């Protein structure tokens, strides 16, 4: 029976297997300690989804605000352009009317002198 192991060799083999099993279990436990429970993962996922939705709402508000500000600015530019046009016309009339009155006065004086 040369192929058979002695009791001492069997004991050492069993001890080696137990050591390997213990090391494997320790490694597995170490990996499991780093893992997150399903409840924690679900809570984190729910919070992440909620935060993403909140950020999307805030982004939409900012986009709407930017669009409103852009519209307000365009309205301001149109109003300013109209005001400038009115001011230009007022200045033009303010210059032309006295000149026309002066020309009419001179024409009336010349007409009166000729008559």
pLDDT tens-digit series, residues 9-49: 888 999 999 999 999 999 998 888 888 788 988 999 999 99
Neighbours of 21 (CB within 10 A): 10
The domain tally of the chain equals: 2
Residue 54 CA to residue 3 CA, distance in Å, equals 72
**Separation between Cα atoms, residue 49 and residue 43, nearest integer Å:** 10
CA distance 115 to 113: 6
Q: Are 64 and 72 in contact (CB under 8 A)?
A: no
One domain for residues 41 and 30: no
> For residue 59, how many other CB atoms are within 10 A of its CB?
10
Tokens, residue 54: 């909140």
Say if residue 40 is in the same domain as residue 28.
no
| Same domain as 71, residue 109 | yes
Range of the domain at 24: 1-35
Question: Which of 24, 44, 20 minimizes the C-alpha distance to 32?
Answer: 24
pLDDT tens-digit readout, 76-109:
999 999 999 999 999 988 889 899 899 999 999 9
Based on the fold, state whether residues 53 and 86 are members of the same structural domain: yes
**Same domain, yes or no: 58 and 11:** no
């Amino acid at each position: 029976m040369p192929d058979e192991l002695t009791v001492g060799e069997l004991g050492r083999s069993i001890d080696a297997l137990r050591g390997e099993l213990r090391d494997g279990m320790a490694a597995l436990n170490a990996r499991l300690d780093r893992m997150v429970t399903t409840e924690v993962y679900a809570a984190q996922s729910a919070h992440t989804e909620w935060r993403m939705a909140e950020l999307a709402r805030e982004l939409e508000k900012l986009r709407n605000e930017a669009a409103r500000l852009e519209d307000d600015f365009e309205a301001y530019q149109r109003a300013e352009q109209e005001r400038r046009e009115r001011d230009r016309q007022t200045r033009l009339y303010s210059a032309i009317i006295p000149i026309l009155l002066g020309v009419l006065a001179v024409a009336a004086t010349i007409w009166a002198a000729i008559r």
